[in-house]
A = this chain, B = another copy of it.
Amino acid sequence: MTLEEIGEIKLIEEISKIIQKEDKRVLVPVGDDAAVCVSPRHNTVLTTDILVEEVHFKLDSILPYQLGYKALAVNLSDIAAMAGLPRFALVSLGLKPKTELKWIQEFYRGMMALGANYDVTVVGGDVSRAALVSVTATIVGEVEPELLRRRNEAKVGHRILVTGKLGAAAAGLLLLDSGIENPDSELIQAHFFPNPRITEARIASQEGASAMEDISDGLAREISNIARASKVGARIFTQKIPVAPGVKKVAKDQNKHFLELALAGGEDYELVFTVAPQKVGQVASSIVKKTKTLVTEVGEIVPKESGVLLGNDDFRDFPLDKLGYNHFKMNNFLR
């Protein structure tokens, strides 16, 4: 079996089989957004992400400052998904020998600019020659045991909420790929400078969120992950999805359905979380009040037998878990 045959989820399952072991210090092992390890006062939260040239970015269409910012942002978003606070970062770079020093300086400046917002310190890293540029960032964070939120605590009847608006990053990427370069476009900005929702996640957790994920691979895939881990189903209502301004127009221009961008486009780095019905008002108003970030109820948790569906006449039977990234199955790639 090759990777392109089995796909990423199966690959991770296979790896998990090999590396899993009993370890009381590991509260959350491989399989969630980040790992959580018991430490004396708080729990340590660990996550890592790899970005590879020609797969995640093209060197001639991203500035090093943007790449540095984004390499950190995608990791911070994983820490946010656990309701954690990021603390330390390690960054390993594969670099071409003819790379200008200025490029690398700009890369780190972008990273530091975001890190400064969240008290993140870069404490290590490694560099190597490589034929193609790659960036691997690892974050060490912490989370109070009572605030930690996983994927597997969604209950039937809980409402599904998302922060912000969806589809902007995917639409921005489409714009870039089609050669329309308007750096002032909010869609392109959304693609390059996602906001990790660390503060929003902390508030959601304090106010009673049950399960939580960041939306890195599209809402469809993330809610499917929550449903699978929680052994429940889910129904998203098409008309409730907060679609970012401009996404419908870009989708139409590119002959795509806007829901493909909003549900499967990925890289929005918003949060999706579940909460008991009686707490919806409180959690939403707390987040809006303290962060000005929009919170929208988009659906509800249903029994497992119902599956994971779009609650819309056109799509009623569309199984949402078929949408989303697969880094090895090329035909599932948006890019």
Contact = CB atoms under 8 A, between A and B. Distances in A.
Interface of A: 1-4, 6, 8, 11-12, 14-15, 18-19, 21, 23, 25-26, 29-30, 34-35, 37, 39-41, 44, 46-52, 54-56, 87-88, 90-102, 104-105, 108-109, 111-112, 121-132, 134, 136, 138, 140, 327-328, 330
Contacts of A123: 26, 29-30, 35, 37, 46
Contact of A140 (B29, B98, B140): B140
Contacts of A96: 3
Contact of A90 (B40, B47, B99, B102): B47
B100 A140 contact: no
B129 A136 contact: no
Contacts of A49: 92, 126
A46 B97 contact: no
Closest 10 CB pairs of A and B: A35-B123, A136-B136, A138-B138, A4-B97, A50-B92, A35-B124, A19-B122, A18-B108, A40-B40, A48-B90
A109 to B, nearest CB: 6
B328 A18 contact: no
A95 to B, nearest CB: 6
Contact of A129 (B35, B46, B55): B55
A122 B30 contact: yes
Nearest to A108: B18
A14 B51 CA distance: 22
B37 A39 contact: no
Contacts of A1: 100-102
B101 A6 contact: yes
A98 B2 contact: yes
B14 A104 contact: yes
Contact of A2 (B15, B100, B328): B100
B92 A136 contact: yes
A41 B42 CA distance: 11
A94 B134 contact: yes
Contact of A48 (B8, B124, B330): B124
A130 B8 CA distance: 13
Nearest to A10: B101
B11 A90 contact: no
Contacts of A92: 48-50, 92, 136, 138
Given A90-B138, A138-B138, A140-B37, A128 B51 contact: yes
A310 B54 CA distance: 47
Given A34-B124, A50-B127, 8 more contacts: A1-B100, A3-B101, A3-B129, A12-B127, A48-B92, A51-B128, A54-B131, A55-B128
29 contacts: A2-B101, A3-B99, A4-B97, A6-B101, A11-B104, A14-B101, A15-B105, A19-B111, A25-B87, A26-B88, A29-B123, A30-B122, A39-B40, A46-B90, A47-B124, A48-B91, A48-B126, A48-B136, A48-B138, A49-B126, A50-B92, A50-B136, A51-B128, A52-B94, A52-B129, A55-B129, A92-B136, A94-B134, A131-B132
